[in-house]
Structure 1
Amino acid sequence: MSKMSTDLTRHALNGPTMGTRWSAQFYTAPDVDPAPIRAALQAAVAEVDAQMSTWNPESDLMRLNVAPVAHWQVVPAHLFKVLRLGLEIGQTSNGAFDIGMGDAVTAWGFGPEAASPERIQSAMTAARDGVETRLEFDVEGSRVRKTAPIALDLNGIAKGYGVDRLAETLRDFGITSGLVGIDGEMRALGLRPDDSPWTIAVEAPDPTRRTPHSILALENAAVATSGDYRHWVEVQGRRLSHTMDPRRGAPLVAPPASVTIVAPTCAQADAWASALMVLGADHGARLARERGLDALFLLRDDGDSIRSVEVGRLFSDTPKPNLPLGR
């Protein structure tokens, strides 16, 4: 380690957000007080939660959801940005990522309410309509209006955007070496003070324990994983993943165990991980190659083995032999 790196002080902060916790590791000069940085980081994620939560009926997103059709609703800048990014990735993924799945998420019991058979049938019927035909944006006025009834849900992108806000907050304090995250979605700023990359574990898709499958080395990049092994509901004795299939308005059937994406921002990584979960390894890997994405698909084979399909500059395109789960 260089003398310059030993002159720096390492900070490790964390706090509550979005039903989980945020974290931040970073380096500063020894005389820097971390208290204002902690407060700013907490405020940044609290702002995202206040604007995009589906659990808070007073959030800006939920106010948009209950606004009348054809009514122009002014929304704050961060929410406006995430709505447009979500719509853009939805269009680029041919609808595999859909921010209009609020009714389906609620119906199947992944929101504040229990699953409802009546709502499930309604959500599956409504899934035929795309979100892009039901939202309009006024860029100059930062306004949004619905052209048809729709319930928006940003759980597939908001957490990643929260990570981006943590990174931007560190940069606002002049910090160029750090690693921030929310519940496993991570973003690296620069390198460590000794010029080594930040190392991040890709978790094995094991619901019973947390073990690494592989290790990533990142510099100025973000990583997010979507999987079927942490969040699910049980319906009629069957465990269903929280990721919705926009084509059906229902949880995915036989999805990949997980999809990990490395991208410039965590919001992009978060949304694309969900989109490629929906598309599966065959169609998803093809789209990832077309879009220049770095993607890791982990697939369950017979027994307890896991097979990987890897795409992009950080990975190879060659399917790997089966490996025991958790190794």
Structure 2
Amino acid sequence: MPKMSTDFQRFALNGPTMGTRWSAVFHAPVNFEGAPLKLTLAAAVAEVDEQMSIWRKQSDLNRLNDAPPGQWLSLPHPLMEVLARGLEIGGASGGAFDIGLGDATGAWGFGPEAASNDTIYAARTRARLPAYEVLELDRDNRRARKHGPMTFDLNGIAKGYGVDRLSKAAEEHGIASALLAIDGELKAIGARPDGSQWTIAIEAPDRDRRSAHSILELSDAAIATSGDYRHWVEIAGKRLAHTIDPARGMPLHASPASATVIAADCATADAWATAMMVLGRDRGRSLAEAQGLTVLFIERGASNELDRFGATSRPTRSHPATGSEFVQSR
């Protein structure tokens, strides 16, 4: 029997962005033209990268970084939206998530420049205020100003926001069943046509190989993972993970192996995953419950074995990884 136009087919699109790749797996009628959607998806994430990248000298974020304290600067709406969300989560997390650590991330080699002793010393000894006490936003007029020197870095939230933009673009094209991703940040729209949820693998935080630690089933929600095992620099023979301790201006010296957060949108999940790495399991679980977040911590014990700890505020199924087809969150 020939397929009818109401039959659904699986499509997969992807492209480069933010030093990695975006992807969109979705179900649509068999006669769906994917080329226009791919252009829209690529444009959506390109706009995020052009506005929020610390690697692009002419980005709007770097214009803000270069602006002197006290000067109002007009900024585009998407960047204003992400700055506002970053300040909000910064305050709600007690400063565990802080978009004002650009000097420290750069000093330790997680930005465009290589690490150096001088910049590391400056980052470690600098008196710090959280970004929500330094950056003022005038959202009605789309402008911002700093009340003191500060360098902003949105790497802990911009990819998640990029996923949200992918999701919005897909929905505007009539897609009701999709899984959108940038690196380890993902968002599920609806369920698959057979009614089953999207299957997401949580990567085992292993520096030397890639494998799944556990699997979640997800629909109409976003997920993001932050960990100590993929992005790091080696200084004096020691590997230092990319998550910065806001209190010290240094990479975390003690943290979970990874923290995975489920939230309604991916920007929120992305930022809170970073905050949970900084807070650690005990403080993080309490705050997650207060914020209505679902969190999965994976820790290494004395034997370097992995243990899993959950703080769940909404129904979700989790089980050991099997041979199922899945998309990884890492």
TM interval, short-chain normalised: over 0.9
Describe the shift of the 1:304–1:73 C-alpha distance in structure 2 as closer, same or farther (beyond 3 A): same
* Corresponding residue for residue 324 of structure 2: none
* Corresponding residue for residue 116 of structure 1: 116
* Corresponding residue for residue 47 of structure 2: 47
TM-score (normalised: structure 1): 0.93
Q: Distance in 1 between matches of 2:159 and 2:244?
A: 17
Aligned-partner SS, 1:171: helix
Q: Distance in 2 between matches of 1:194 and 1:204?
A: 29
Give runs of aligned pairs for residues 7-22 of structure 1, distance below 5 A: 7-22=7-22
Q: Distance in 1 between matches of 2:5 and 2:226?
A: 35
Larger deviation: 133-142 or 34-43?
Answer: 133-142
Larger deviation: 166-175 or 111-120?
Answer: 111-120
- Residue 62 of structure 2 aligns to which amino acid in structure 1? M
Aligned-partner SS, 2:290: helix
Answer yes or no: is the 8 Å Cα contact 1:9–1:30 preserved in 2. Answer: yes
* Corresponding residue for residue 229 of structure 1: 229
Gaps of 5+ in 1: 317-327
- Residue 152 of structure 1 aligns to which amino acid in structure 2? F
* Corresponding residue for residue 135 of structure 1: 135
TM-superposed deviation, 1:283: 1.1
TM-superposed deviation, 1:217: 0.6
Describe the shift of the 1:170–1:127 C-alpha distance in structure 2 as closer, same or farther (beyond 3 A): farther
* Corresponding residue for residue 100 of structure 1: 100
Give runs of aligned pairs for residues 1-327 of structure 1, distance below 5 A: 7-126=7-126, 128-313=128-313
Q: Distance in 1 between matches of 2:29 and 2:223?
A: 28
Describe the shift of the 1:120–1:202 C-alpha distance in structure 2 as closer, same or farther (beyond 3 A): same
Q: Distance in 1 between matches of 2:125 and 2:4?
A: 61
Answer yes or no: is the 8 Å Cα contact 1:127–1:249 preserved in 2. Answer: no
Cα deviations by residue, 1:228-268 (Å, 9 ceiling, x for unpaired): 00000111111101000001011001211000000000100
Answer yes or no: is the 8 Å Cα contact 2:6–2:29 preserved in 1. Answer: no
Q: Distance in 2 between matches of 1:210 and 1:58?
A: 35
Q: Distance in 2 between matches of 1:258 and 1:49?
A: 25
Q: Distance in 1 between matches of 2:283 and 2:116?
A: 31
Gaps of 5+ in 2: 317-330
- Residue 209 of structure 1 aligns to which amino acid in structure 2? R
Aligned residues: 315
TM-superposed deviation, 1:127: 5.0
Q: Distance in 2 between matches of 1:140 and 1:288?
A: 31
Larger deviation: 279-288 or 152-161?
Answer: 279-288
- Residue 12 of structure 2 aligns to which amino acid in structure 1? A
TM-superposed deviation, 1:207: 1.1
What percentage of residue pairs aligned between the two structures are identical? 57
TM-score (normalised: structure 2): 0.92
Cα deviations by residue, 1:129-148 (Å, 9 ceiling, x for unpaired): 22112111112110001111
- Residue 182 of structure 1 aligns to which amino acid in structure 2? I
- Residue 153 of structure 1 aligns to which amino acid in structure 2? D
Q: Distance in 2 between matches of 1:241 and 1:96?
A: 16
TM-superposed deviation, 1:315: 7.4
Q: Distance in 2 between matches of 1:261 and 1:187?
A: 12
TM-superposed deviation, 1:6: 7.8
